[in-house]
Amino acid sequence: MDKSLSSAEIDRLFIEGDRNLHQGKFSAAIDIFEQLLKTIESDHNQHFNIQRNLVKAYQQNEQSEQAIALCQLMIDSNCNAATLWGTNFMTRLMPNIEQGVVGKPGNQELKEVPVTDNISHHFKIKTLSEFKQYCQDNLLDSLRELEKKRVNTLLSIVISGITCLIATWALCQLIFGILRINNSIFIFHLTALISISPVWIAFCRGCIQVYGLGFKHNIIEVIIKFIDSQGTLKYASNLFLEDKRQTILGFTRSQIFRDELHEPDSLEQEDCVYGSIGQTDIFFAEIVVENIKTGYLNEFEQAEVRGKSSLFRGLFFEAKFPKSFVSRTFILPNTFNSKLASLNNWRGEEVKLEDPEFQHIFKVYSDNQVEARYILSTNLMNRLVQFNQKANRKVYLSFIDGFMYIAIPYRQNLFEPKLFTNMKSFSPLKEYFFDLQLMIGIVDNLNLNRRIWKK
Amino acid sequence: MQPFIYILFFIAIVFLLLAFVAAMIGIQIYNSLILKKNQVSKSFSSVDVLLKKRWDLIPNLVAVVKNHMEFEQQTLAEITRLRSRAMSGDLSPEQRLNTENQITRTMGNIMALIENYPELKSNTHVTQLLESLNETEEQISAARRFYNTAVTNYNNAIEMFPSNIVAGYMKYAAKELFVTPAEERANVNVGELFN
């Protein structure tokens, strides 16, 4: 780097490094700050800020030795602010060290004050290889048993199917024999088969239900325990009555798909996860929301016809948002429907934000332009873009009454055992892990544990 | 003679129609410019409300930290002076903006200094005050972004054809964006203070 950098260039590079640090690109941040430190003099007004950020970048990048060395350099420097900051930060880097070893004699009064860490809980995102290892260590027996049950279920279904066919044929032949009909009639066979098929389907359903018994407890709950290493989350494959009412209220309050005046006619939920991650209480579940179409008389005006229309099927997430706000803000995927102002009038005004990538993916509506921007800080916009890429499907969000709601539509029933896939293979497990980690990781991905605002 | 009258009549109708369409477009542009100008005023008043909210928090901050920051009394005196200046009301918009930027910068420095005083950081009152300040700073930043969006829309409208013709007739001039100086951006990093 050129030695003769102008003040503006130093500022620009510092901001770039700072941005990298915030975005988690620690190596890039370290490169910039190291080069800057080499370039500028120690009496430069940015020197302390650069040192401070470099120590943080080293710490985040798990380069403890470099962080401690730089901290020591700051402690020994002539700058009071750097010395004080370095002394304090050293206690975080080396919590067990005797402070007298690193502190200056003049700072004795500071050493007696305990340093409190604001972040009491940090959720660690698990990698796929960690999960694979965990499965091999803990889930292999359950998976073997599950695979055995799966093969047995398939065999039962196939054998019962063949038995049904043979029984139908034999029954038909018997009837033809009694009635003395020489030529078997195909339509008769078919009718018999159709009449017997509901029995076979009911039998198959029973088999599949038996196959699924214990799956949620032995597999899904264990995966959740692995992701939530702190053990602060609870899992229930089904929640009834009062809890279901809470979900209905939450879904209605979220107004993601309709305004709050309309409560859905039917809501079914399963695979509920609830508890807290750090200071954030969360709840998510797989839900199916349906509306019952108003009854009308059929063409003979004899019977009332009622139908169901699906409103939402997928994962629904609810959490307390760390900022205070009173207005409603909606974030919708940038589709043709969300672009039509007439369809979204009830959501408020359209909010045009500065981030082009975010604008490309989402459409934002809110009652209050300033509050929408207060909620959607540049940092959160960036995190939402990344979250959307991770989810790789449409994501709907709403911020109402201090809560954040997320709805991710899915076509299929989630967290169910597969019938036609080998359960000992890693692919179905990977799918469960991905979906669960996506939801549990929301708190960390969107930084909901950050508590620096008055609440 | 009769066909000639018909042609004249036809031309007059076409002219009238064109004039009507032009007048409608003119009215539409005029209204949209007024809307955009009002949006700028509305967004500026949002910033103003929040800046005033911050003024109310400054004396509390100074009162809490003045006993601890013995060697930084100058900074505290500076923020008090800047606050009085901003509140005096006899500043031009540009001077006001400048003063508020200086307040942001100085407050950023005070908050960075608080980081060096563990006894201050562990004080509940200070923590609450800092939370309020962080919240206000973030709200100011949100209001600034709203203001800048409104100004950009307004500036685009008065520079683009054909609205620039109506804007020229109305003597509308481009407005300045609420730019955060690079120095300020680098120093005030409230969110990161406790990380």
Q: Which residue of A has its CA nearest to B185?
A: A15
User: Cα(B2)–Cα(A38) distance, rounded to whole angstroms?
Assistant: 92
Query: Which of A370, A399, A444 is the best substitution to test chain B (most B C-beta atoms within 10 A)?
Result: A370
pLDDT band at A44 (very low <50, low <70, confident <90, very high): confident
- Which residues of chain A make contact with B120, given a CB cutoff of 8 A? none
- Confidence at residue A303, expressed as pLDDT on a 0 to 100 scale: 56
Q: Side chain identity at A448, as an amino acid letter?
A: L
A3 touches B at CB < 8 Å: no
Contacts of B121 in chain A (CB under 8 A): 115-116
pLDDT tier, A115 (very low <50, low <70, confident <90, very high otherwise): very low
The pLDDT value given to residue A363:
93
B141 touches A at CB < 8 Å: yes
- Where are the domains positioned within chain A? 7-111, 225-445
Q: Of the candidates A8, A56, A116, which has its C-beta nearest B122's C-beta?
A: A116
Q: Mean per-residue pLDDT for A204-211?
A: 88
Q: Do A379 and B191 touch (CB under 8 A)?
A: yes
Mean pLDDT of A178-194: 70
How far is Cα A119 from Cα A64, in angstroms, rounded to an integer? 19
Whether A425 has a pLDDT exceeding 60, the answer reads yes
Residue B40 at interface with chain A, using a CB cutoff of 8 Å: no
* CA–CA dist B32, A327 (Å, integer): 26
* Average per-residue pLDDT for chain A: 80
Q: Tell me, yes or no, whether B185 lies in a domain.
A: no
Kindly indicate the confidence band of residue B7, based on its pLDDT and cuts at 50, 70 and 90.
very high
Taking Cα atoms as reference points, which of B114, B105, B78 lies closest to residue B188?
B105
How far is A237 from A231, CA to CA, in rounded Å? 17
Q: Which two tokens stand for residue A276?
A: 């807290």
Which domain does B111 fall in, by range?
2-174
Q: Is residue A389 scored above 70 in pLDDT? A: yes
Q: Compare CB distances from A452 to B118, B134, B139 and report the shortest one's residue.
A: B134
Chain B hits for A110, CB-CB cut-off 8 Å, are: 118
Distance from CA of A310 to the nearest CA of B (A): 37
Pairwise CB contact (< 8 Å): B115 & A85: yes
Q: Which B residues in the span 170-189 are in contact with A, Cβ-Cβ below 8 Å?
A: 182-183, 185-187, 189
CB contact under 8 A, B113 and A81: yes
* pLDDT, tens digit (0-9, with 9 covering 90-100), for A256-280: 888 766 788 888 888 999 888 888 8
Q: What value does the mean pLDDT take over residues A352-361?
A: 89
- Quickly state the pLDDT bin for A388 (edges 50, 70, 90): very high
The pLDDT assigned to A100 comes to 36
Q: Is the minimum CB–CB distance between A352 and chain B shorter than 8 Å?
A: yes
Question: What digits encode the pLDDT tens for the residues A93-110?
Answer: 765 443 333 333 333 333
Higher per-residue confidence, B177 vs A341: B177
Q: Which residue has the higher pLDDT, A406 or B77?
A: A406
The DSSP symbol for A423 reads T
What is the per-residue pLDDT for A186?
67
Q: What pLDDT, on a 0 to 100 scale, did the predictor assign at position A105?
A: 37
Chain B residues touching residue A454 (CB < 8 angstroms): 128, 131-132, 134-135
Task: Reply yes or no on whether the pLDDT at B71 is more than 70.
Answer: no
Query: In the A/B pair of chains, how many CB contacts fall below 8 A?
Result: 91
Report the residue from B46, B113, B130 with minimal CB separation from A370.
Answer: B46
pLDDT in tens, A72-95: 888 777 776 677 677 767 766 765
In a domain, B160, yes or no: yes
Domain count, chain B: 1
pLDDT of residue A315: 95
Is residue B31 predicted with pLDDT exceeding 90?
yes
Range with the largest mean pLDDT of A60-64, A193-197, A217-221, A315-319: A315-319
The band of A184, judged by pLDDT with boundaries at 50, 70 and 90, is: low
Tell me whether residue B184 is in a domain. no
Q: Which chain A residue lies closest to B45 (C-alpha atoms)?
A: A370
Say what the pLDDT of residue B185 is. Answer: 47
For residue B191, tell me if it sits in a domain.
no
pLDDT band at A364 (very low <50, low <70, confident <90, very high): very high
| Percent of the residues in chain A that have a pLDDT greater than 90, as a whole number | 18
- Domain for residue B194, yes or no? no
Considering the entire predicted model, what is its pTM?
Answer: 0.68
Identify which has the larger pLDDT, A452 or A113: A452
Q: What is the DSSP string of A336-404?
A: HHHH-GGGSGGG-EEE--S-HHHHHHEEEEES-HHHHHHHS-HHHHHHHHHHHHHHTS--EEEEETTEE
Cβ of A56 within 8 Å of Cβ of B131? The answer is no
The answer to whether residue A242 scores a pLDDT higher than 70 is no
Closest CA of chain A from B4, distance in Å:
49
Can you say how many angstroms the Cα of residue B28 is from the centroid of all Cα atoms in its chain? 27
CATH number at residue B119: 1.20.1440.20
Q: Which of A52-56, A329-333, B144-148 has the highest mean pLDDT?
A: A329-333
Q: Does B119 touch chain A (CB under 8 A)?
A: yes
In a domain, B190, yes or no: no
Write down the pLDDT at residue A103: 38
Of A7, A374, A379, which to mutate for an interface test with B (greatest number of B Cβ within 10 Å)? A374
CA gap A104, A114 in Å, rounded: 17
Chain B hits for A49, CB-CB cut-off 8 Å, are 186-187
Cβ atoms < 10 Å from Cβ of A271: 26
Q: Which fold has domain A7-111?
A: 1.25.40
Is residue A165's pLDDT more than 80? yes
Hey, what are B19's tokens? 């004039």
* DSSP output for A202-256: HHHHHHHHHHHTTHIIIIIHHHHHHH-TT--EEEES---HHHHHHHHHHHHHH-S
Nearest CA in chain B to A92: B195
For residues A379 and A385, is the Cβ–Cβ distance under 8 A?
no
